[in-house]
Structure 1
Amino acid sequence: MFFDDWTGLLRTVVVGVLAYVAIVLLLRVTGKRTLSKMNAFDLIVTVALGSTLATILLSESVALAEGILGFAVLVFLQMLVAWASVRWQVVRDIVKAKPTLLLHKGRILDEALVDTRVAPDEVMAAVRSSGHASLEQVEAVVLETDGSFSVVGPSPDGSTSALANVPMPSGTA
């Protein structure tokens, strides 16, 4: 139960080192975008890579070459979807969530909070962590596509161009 033999441990070390080197090289070749946290699809790929690594390490029924091929397939698919989403709006709409306005001009948008399952306390925490003492000091709080909060302060010239791609609920103009 605690120890079978030394060959199992040796296999884990050798395969672990080689799989680690393979995934690092693959990620270096494919660029930073592969492990970004830009949307849910990117998160899925990151989790799947970790799961594949664990399977390679702990399952003797999966050969190192099969695991490395699994890494390559996941990374290739992620690159293909990212490439297509940059070029075609329909693909972008399928794989990427839209940012959601949670607070506008100091007023919390209750319906948006319910739709996104965000508590008012979380919005207030985001405002505080951005250095604002009052909701009225904030132009907007946006729930971004990666699940993070962006707090947008007032612009000296009144411009809200950073909110151009954020759908505005009716009555927030």
Structure 2
Amino acid sequence: MWFDTWSDIVRILAVGAAAYLTLILVLRLTGKRTLSKLNAFDLIVSVALGSTLATILLSSDVSWAEGFTAFALLAVLQLVITWTSTRAPSTRSVITAKPTLLLRDGRPLEKAMHEERVTLGELRQAVRASGSGDLADVGAVVLESDGSLSVIPAAKMGAATALDGVETSRPA
């Protein structure tokens, strides 16, 4: 079907523009976290927001007011969850994964890499991207809760206090 009616097109333009502006407003009100690097929870909220926007745009059965309510509900739920996780640290592990140590003192931790499904090639890529050419020059590589790999050069390890709270495994 190529075309139904002009009223459908006008509805999409009007409701779509209003829903888009509403989504921007909701994202700005909920703060930077909503738009930060995504952990699993943030990804779910982002996908739900996108799905809601698509539904508002394409379904004439969903009004702008219903879409706004859905946006607001998702934003409030995210604020409640993030507020709770910052004030009750024990709930944080339910919402986001802990960072995991994948390399220590130039040696890959194969057990941790296997558990996290990270290959030696991916580890080497992260080390190269950090500007290091040798694993021996790296003090630690951490798989962060958002899925990114953080590389700490051996020369900058210091007392390694940045690794507090990072899950560790023994070398395999």
**TM-score range normalised by the length of the shorter chain:** over 0.9
CA pair 156-68 structure 1, distance change in 2 beyond 3 A: closer
Distance 1:16 1:161 in 2: 48
Distance 1:158 1:36 in 2: 28
- The within-5 A match list for 1:20-169 is 20-155=20-155, 158-169=158-169
| Count of equivalent residues | 172
| TM-score of the pair, normalised by structure 2 | 0.95
Deviates more, 1:136-145 or 1:150-159: 150-159
Deviation at 1:38, TM superposition (A): 4.6
Deviation at 1:171, TM superposition (A): 5.6
- 5+ residue gaps in structure 1? none
> Counterpart amino acid of 1:68?
F
- 5+ residue gaps in structure 2? none
Tell me the alpha carbon deviations over residues 68-96 of structure 1, each in whole angstroms, 9 at most, x when there is no partner.
10000000000000000001122112101
Distance 1:98 1:32 in 2: 21
Q: Specify the SS of the correspondent of 2:3.
A: coil
> Counterpart amino acid of 2:42?
D
CA contact (8 A) 2:111 2:169 kept: no
Tell me the alpha carbon deviations over residues 9-28 of structure 1, each in whole angstroms, 9 at most, x when there is no partner.
11111111000111111122
Distance 1:156 1:113 in 2: 23
Q: Match for residue 170 of structure 1?
A: 170
CA contact (8 A) 1:102 1:109 kept: yes
The runs of 4+ residues in structure 1 deviating greater than 6 Å are none
| TM-score of the pair, normalised by structure 1 | 0.94
Name the Cα RMSD after superposition.
Answer: 1.5
Task: Name the % identity.
Answer: 51
> Counterpart amino acid of 1:164?
D
